[in-house]
Amino acid sequence: MKICLHIHSRYSHDSDVSVKDIIHEAERLGYDVISITDHNTVKGSLEALEYKDSNVSIIPGAEFSTEFGHVLAYFIDDSIEKNTPKVDEKRFDFFKLVENIRYINGVIILAHPFNSKLKEHMEILNSIDGIERYNARLDSFYFKNKSNSFIKPLLNRKNFIYLGGPDAHSLEELSHCYTITKEFSLDPEAFKKALFNQSIVYYKTSVNYAISKAKIHNIKKFKPKHIVKNIIRMMYGILEIVYTKVLRCRQYEIIYIGKESKP
């Protein structure tokens, strides 16, 4: 099964993509299962579940901000955002969040672990079901090598999930990263069983142009540093595209979960 489980829609503050367009693009890309994981709300996924004329299956999900980093929650409903207390205006209480997700038998994945507080709080690994092995937005530029080095010692944990996701905030980004796993029914236990220590992550080799373009497009308030940073990233992305085309590099790199990566 070809799955894409980290996507943001218009229900996130930093995306303006409609749920309907996401589903149509996912169908075009051949995804079997997707999850729309908007910031701190399941509204995007709940809207996606209303579309009945698509071949793409939906796992309801969201990406919650916590004091330890961003948590991707799957197989959830709106009780999580309604019933979980916050530690401040923007962040949910991590342990209460975990408790509430567990209560409804949801699945808990730590998003982009290098860009989280996991380095200082490794004990939270015992509270989650897995991590993002590769995040196309955050692992494709400045911190790619550092992120990879940080994650490698975390691999091969027993009964643990390693996902790859695009962290898409635009339609173009939906193709940037996905996970292949064996077929599973749409319930939490089947999902975990299919992904425990066995999956293949595909990530696109030239993504920085599309990411920087989306970041500039989705900005709500003029921030000079943000714009300059993403113009630099866009220029790097153009060079990246030229380089891969001239040298005829492969479009996707592959990470094999549960065994050594092949060259």
139: left (phi over 0), alpha (psi -120 to 50) or beta: alpha
Question: For residue 261, which amino acid is it?
Answer: S
69: left (phi over 0), alpha (psi -120 to 50) or beta: left
In this model, does residue 44 exceed pLDDT 80?
yes
In this model, does residue 152 exceed pLDDT 60?
yes
For 32-36, 46-50, 143-147, 255-259, which range has the lowest pLDDT when averaged over its residues?
255-259
Q: Tell how strand 2-7 and strand 177-180 pair up.
A: antiparallel
CA 216 to chain CA mean position, Å: 20
User: For the chain, what is the mean pLDDT?
Assistant: 94
User: What is the rounded CA–CA span in Å between residue 143 and residue 139?
Assistant: 6
Q: What is the DSSP string of 187-236?
A: SHHHHHHHHBT-EEEEEES--HHHHHHHHHHT-SS--HHHHHHHHHHHHH
Which tens digits make up the pLDDT trace of 194-250? 999 789 999 999 999 999 999 999 988 888 989 999 999 999 999 999 999 998 899
**CA separation (Å) from 141 to 136, 144, 236?**
9, 6, 9
pLDDT confidence of residue 239: 95
Q: Quote the tokens at residue 144.
A: 């790619």
